[in-house]
Structure 1
């Protein structure tokens, strides 16, 4: 499909630069089927919109301080690195700013005495960085890195200490993401307690979101776009409980596109979920037949992005573009720190 079919006009003032407080005070647009009226609700209404047999599936990845600023050793040129995907204990694949100034074998010097060797350049322009020294890379990043906020936020106001808390979900447990699973940012203890009281089940999986989620689609046709691979894991027990919930008539509601992509990556043709521990580069566009997921809670996404294509696959392209027009007209806040939507085909 043509990528420009997923374009829409978004006023800059609709882009949220800070989350609402408390987190669960965000608005939520409910989109049902193909013809039902749009419902302007709030995130706190979620328990009333779900049934006791439904199961919400969260991503428990934790954002690491993956944004590094420094220079090439022996030079003055400023170099930026955004870690994208872990390769092994000391190596990460990273997108490099000012990459033309970096050659394979160069040493890069970051803050806090942290150094890395640019080992190999990849076809997509990223590089493998090998961090020097004996300290775990996680410690080095805590010393030298900053929270990798999306460019549409960082370029407008920068990154500050408050983002250390704001850009992390209450479910964050497993280090490895360089972008937050932002649909989960709306959840609080009181919302979880209300969901539990309603009888809604909760499950977690892990998909380490990579920096590729911020990259624009440069191809003119969706068939020519290649997703960056991200590592995901669903254990046997979690898969079994989700399968049991579906067999009992419950709906599987993914909280965030990352949860949805991993669930569909681990789904068998008959709709059962299997154990999964591997990379996934699944690219969901209109025409995709969903096997496990029955609904999605997600924020509002960038024009012409792979995530707009994903929600269009779930609800229909025209339906989602109409929903976005409604959201803009009604003053919903967009993107990572913005409001939410509940999509129920």
Structure 2
């Protein structure tokens, strides 16, 4: 399939720059997976789509405040560092701006020396491996000095770091939030449980690859980025019971979907496991795990638009997106939500 088949027109004014005051007051577009019909709702209406015995699967990854601003020790030149992945011990894969002048052996200082980062290897596209030195606990230093690594299409600064975290975020390691989950409040999740719907948690640490554009014309040639995932024994047993009893599994976000479909593909059941997934879901994919999806609106020609198109149909999804544009829905990370079921 050609990448142009997943394009749509989006006015820049519809890209949400800030979160709404209350998480669950966002709008909700229902797309009927089979018929393509759409319905305009609000996120609190999500309960009408759940049935007792269903399991709602949420990604409990936690975003690191991993964007740091500091100086090059030798020249005092300003530099920005975005921490991506822990390689080993205190060695981290990072992106630097500007990167060209940072060579192996050179050091950066953040917070007047509270974190010192020394370059030990160079990678492509501004990437470096940096060895960190700091007093105490790294997470505490990041909470003190770091900013949330917001997507490139968000130009506003975030005044409250917690608004780029889900209320159930637990496992630190993401460079971006699983944004479909941002709409849930503790009270709404309690209402879900009162209906007899189970909550299950998986972890997938979202990488910046989720924002990288597809650079090939034929999507079969696209090389998908890898992300780390985990599933517990408790979650695996609950999901297997849900399937065996004929109830539905509804994923919150494409990250949960990718985790669930990876495990069912590799094991033909849900099992306690962890690893790296580069699963690429696009039309023609056979879903084995997920019966419904809650998701945000995604960038044109992105792998995430391809994923939701695979779950319903490309034309149904693009029609739904056109409807959302016409009705002035808010798009992307801080935007409104869809349920496809």
Judge same fold: TM > 0.5, yes or no: yes
Q: Are the equivalent residues in 2 in contact too, given 1:266–1:275 (CA < 8 A)?
A: no
1:282-297 matches, within 5 Å, as: 282-297=279-294
**What is the rounded CA distance, in whole Å, between the counterparts of 2:89 and 2:257 in structure 1?**
28
**Structure 2 counterparts to residues 114-125 of structure 1, below 5 A:** 114-123=115-124, 125=126
> Secondary structure, in 3 states, of the residue corresponding to 2:88?
coil
Give the alignment's TM-score, normalised by structure 1: 0.93
Which is worse superposed, 69-78 or 184-193?
69-78
CA distance in structure 2 between the partners assigned to 1:331 and 1:117 by the alignment: 47
Gaps of 5+ in 2: none
CA 1:76–1:270: 2 relative to 1, 3 Å: closer
Which residue matches 1:40?
40
RMSD: 1.8
Q: Distance in 2 between matches of 1:72 and 1:212?
A: 27
Residues 1-345 of structure 1: matches in 2 within 5 Å?
A: 1-113=1-113, 114-123=115-124, 125-153=126-154, 156-157=155-156, 159-162=157-160, 164-268=161-265, 271-344=268-341
Judge which range, 119-128 or 206-215, deviates more. Answer: 119-128
Gaps of at least 5 residues in structure 1 are: none
Q: TM-score, normalised by structure 2?
A: 0.94
Q: Is contact 1:271-1:292 (8 Å) kept?
A: no
Q: Tell me the distance in 1 between the aligned counterparts of 2:269 and 2:132.
A: 40
Q: Separation in 2 of the partners of 1:237 and 1:302?
A: 34
Structure 1 residues 270 and 74, CA, compared in 2 at 3 Å: closer, same or farther?
closer
Cα displacement string for residues 291-319 of structure 1 (whole angstroms, at most 9, x for unaligned residues):
11111100001111111111111112111
- The Cα of 1:76 is off from its aligned counterpart by 4.6
> Does the C-alpha gap of structure 1 residues 228 and 72 become closer, same or farther in structure 2, counting only changes over 3 Å?
farther
List, as ranges, runs of 4+ consecutive aligned residues in structure 1 with deviation greater than 6 Å: none
Is the Cα–Cα contact under 8 Å of residues 312 and 320 in structure 1 kept in the other structure?
A: yes
| Paired positions, count | 340
